[in-house]
Chain A
Amino acid sequence: MTLLDHVPSEAQLRRSAYRRRQTVYSVFVAASSTAALGTLLVIAVTGAPGWDRVRQSFLDPEIARDALPAVLTGLWLNVRLLVCCAVGALLLGLVIAVLRTLRGPVFFPVRALAAGYTYTFRGLPLIIVLYLLTLGVPGLRLQGMPPVLVLGGIALVLTYGGYLAEVFRAGIESVHPSQLAAARSLGLTYRQTMRHVVLPQAVRRVAPPLLNDVVALQKDVGLVSLAGPIDAVRAAQIATAQSFNYTPYIVAGVLFVLLAIPLIAVTDWVTLRAARRQSGG
């Protein structure tokens, strides 16, 4: 190739020099505007009349240190519950979405049930589902009742499964009919076409919104504490009640954000990769 022997023209050299100067200038402007805004914010917050009281009751380092172990223990429960519920909700959502695509009169009741499920659980507030399962179901006093934690997890799976099913369905419907025609013309059955041609493309396409819902699930996992189990938020609440100081909530909040960062980073990476794959065609 001639890449190495190419000598840039006078005009190109001038353009490059101009662009370099512009880049330096842009970095300088960005740095100064950030510094100015940051200074303003710090002055506004620390200069507020109640700043000292707020700092004492929300940002006490000693209380933060004391509350950390209990909040971390609670967070471990959140993490375990998140993993189980995310896997359960993704599986349930996928199954429901596929059931809704089944054709033929035999499957009418299955389709109707699946559709009814997504309508019900997307409409029903999560808190009501949680109360029904964690307080209502044990009230039946049946033998072999699972612990409240499991019931809470089931409530989360049921609610999020409804959302995820719709995301999966959108993905399935986004696969072009010509792909189905190609698969069927090769002699693949409807099931084989779904399994090998439609679903792999659908899942890849909706991976970003699916992961986004998992990030949302991560926060809602904490709601099981309404039924008793001690998660990070409940642990922070207990610590707050003991010290009459709100710092433990801040501790829990920071930990939640830290937990979300890797998941959000993965979501962004998957989104970027999907976008690149599409434009690469």
Chain B
Amino acid sequence: MALLRCRGLRKEFGGHAVLDQLDLTVTEHRVVALIGASGSGKSTLLRCVNLLEEIDDGTIELDGEDISDPRVDPDRVRRRIGMVFQAYNLFPHLSVLDNITLAPRRVHRRGRAEAEAQARDLLDRVGLGAKADAYPDRLSGGQQQRVAIVRALANSPRLMLLDEVTSALDPELVGEVLAMIRDLKADGMTMVLATHEMGFAREVADEVCFLDAGRVVESGPPEQVLGEPTQPRTRQFLHRIIEAGRL
């Protein structure tokens, strides 16, 4: 069943179309990787799906509901979607535990004890149980990003949007974050991830979409898109990536 369906999506910034006639369908329990050069619209697409940006045309359906309808309450939509950002965006004035329990307590109105028990359980599972009371600036980048993922998971989202979650990390810290995403896939989480890690996209994604100039130029199983691309622009992009030693 299609959990997310974008049709004819368009988004303009200052007269320039960042997304143009974009179609994307994500089936439940599947992982879709968005690849493409910087400025190809990957991040913008994720922000539009989470209603952080207002779209200029097209429709977005989540679970069969048209969430691009202006009468829809965006807060209600966002409760069902977890988002993780490139720069972690943890709240620096809150401890790790408070970062994670903020939404369960304020949005879902759970009690403090219940929310904290759930948060500690999630932290234990990713090996960060000892950091529950630390503040974000005391953690490494990889630890911060894992906390950010836990924070998004604490809302029990139907869909996770991951926006280049390893791009700000030192190379030796990338692995711990990718391992966590691998576990999420094993648990059956539906995910859309924008990434520059081609090797990881090949391993974890069920489908890879190559974006260029705001459109999905080519999509399919990772072996096909990354291995035998049919579109010249995809080939060009992958060639540059290989030259840069990233594949």
Chain A positions near chain B (C-beta within 8 angstroms): 178-179, 181-189, 192, 196-197, 200-201, 204, 277, 280-281
Contact = CB atoms under 8 A, between A and B. Distances in A.
Interface stretch (B63-71, B81-89, B235-243): B81-89
B155 A186 contact: yes
Given A178-B87, A192-B107, A196-B102, A185 B93 contact: no
24 contacts: A178-B87, A181-B52, A182-B85, A182-B89, A182-B90, A184-B74, A184-B75, A185-B52, A185-B78, A185-B83, A186-B107, A186-B151, A186-B152, A187-B76, A187-B107, A187-B155, A188-B102, A188-B103, A189-B75, A192-B107, A200-B93, A277-B137, A281-B92, A281-B137
B102 A185 contact: no
A184 B78 contact: yes
A186 B102 contact: yes
A183 B87 CA distance: 14
B50 interface: yes
A182 B52 CA distance: 10
B147 to A, nearest CB: 12
Nearest to B50: A185
Contacts of B155: 186-187
B89 A181 contact: yes
Contacts of A182: 83, 85, 89-91
A280 to B, nearest CB: 6
B106 A201 contact: no
A187 B52 contact: no
Contacts of B91: 179, 182-183, 197, 201
B79 interface: yes
A178 B52 CA distance: 11
Contacts of B103: 186-188
Chain A CB within 10 Å, residue with most, of B50, B87, B89? B89
Q: A182, A186, A192: which has the most chain B beta carbons within 10 Å?
A: A186
Contacts of B87: 178
A273 to B, nearest CB: 13
Given A181-B89, A204-B93, A196 B106 contact: yes
B191 to A, nearest CB: 15
Interface in B104-159: 106-107, 137, 151-152, 155
Nearest to A197: B91
A68 B155 CA distance: 64
B81 A280 contact: no
Contacts of A196: 102, 106
Contacts of B52: 181, 184-185
Nearest to A195: B106
Nearest to B51: A184
Contacts of B107: 186-188, 192
Contact of A185 (B76, B81, B90, B106): B81
Contacts of A192: 106-107
A178 B86 CA distance: 10
Contacts of B50: 185
A178 B85 contact: yes
Nearest to A192: B106
Contacts of B78: 184-187
Contacts of B83: 182, 185
Given A185-B81, A197-B91, A280-B137, 19 more contacts: A179-B89, A181-B52, A182-B85, A182-B90, A184-B78, A185-B50, A185-B52, A185-B152, A186-B152, A187-B75, A187-B107, A188-B75, A188-B102, A188-B106, A189-B75, A192-B106, A200-B93, A201-B91, A204-B93
Contacts of B74: 184
Nearest to A182: B89
A277 B137 CA distance: 9
A182 to B, nearest CB: 4
Q: Which of B50, B79, B82, B92 has the most CB of A within 10 A?
A: B92
Contacts of B137: 277, 280-281
Contacts of B76: 187
